[in-house]
Amino acid sequence: MNYEILLAFSIATFALALSPGPDNIFVLIQSITNGRKFGLAVVAGLMTGCLVHTTLLAFGVSAVIKNNPTIFTIIKIFGAIYLVYLAISVYRGGDSISIKTENKPVKSLGSLFRQGFIMNVLNPKVTIFFLAFFPGFLFSNGISTIIQFYVLGLLFIVISSIVFSGIAFLSGSISTFLIGNKKTGFVLKWVQIIVFLGIAIFLFFG
């Protein structure tokens, strides 16, 4: 088992979870608008959706690896190219982080859980991202690839849950900080670009 690969995966996941995106911004907005427990309901829904993506990836890609290693190599190359594309998309995007909360209707905990789950499961970008991100971090030659994908998926869920829950609990302070510091968006933007490019290089040459 290669623990260095798991550490690299954990660091990349932490950086990505911390970078501004639709999921953590949605958690932040719901936490500011309705309260921390409502933000946590969104987190629970999002992470449950990640478990579905992990399952699809584990059984689908594991079959590819078993039947054709060449196709698996092509998947990793595709993943590297897709991550470069994501980096370019972030570069072309703006530096600002919008946290507008006006006219946001109050929803129940159950409805926010369902919304988080549905917006994750039905988002094809999440499926493609998991397919691009996970295969390059398989960490053992002796453990079933299905188990390895589940380990990576659970690690991704645990780290993302910690970061997103932190956003929910610190939502008031985070929103004040974001509004008061104009350079925050610029810094987080470049952190995200560097992470995407770093993972792409790792996949391409790994």
Task: List the chain pLDDT tens, one digit each, 206 residues.
Answer: 888 999 999 999 998 898 878 888 889 888 888 888 999 999 999 999 999 999 999 998 888 877 788 888 888 888 889 989 988 988 887 776 666 665 555 678 899 999 999 989 988 888 889 988 998 899 998 999 999 999 999 999 999 999 999 999 888 787 777 767 777 778 878 888 888 898 888 887 76
Domain coverage including residue 117 = 35-95+107-205
Q: Which of 29, 20, 205 is nearest to 112 (CA)?
A: 29
The Cα–Cα gap between 155 and 129 comes to 16
The Cα–Cα gap between 62 and 35 comes to 41
Q: How many domains does the chain have?
A: 1
Please tell me the total number of residues recorded for the chain in this structure: 206
- Residue whose structure tokens are 């995966």: 9
| Residue 10 is assigned to a structural domain of this protein | no
| Residue 3 is assigned to a structural domain of this protein | no
| Residue 192 is assigned to a structural domain of this protein | yes
Q: Kindly provide the b/e burial profile for residues 73-105, where b requires at least 16 CB atoms within 10 angstroms of the residue's own CB.
A: eebbeebbebbbebbeebeeeeeebeeeeeeee
Q: How would DSSP label each residue in 59-81?
A: HHHHHHHHH-HHHHHHHHHHHHH
Three-class DSSP category at 141: coil
| Residue 28 is assigned to a structural domain of this protein | no
The Cα–Cα gap between 108 and 86 comes to 34
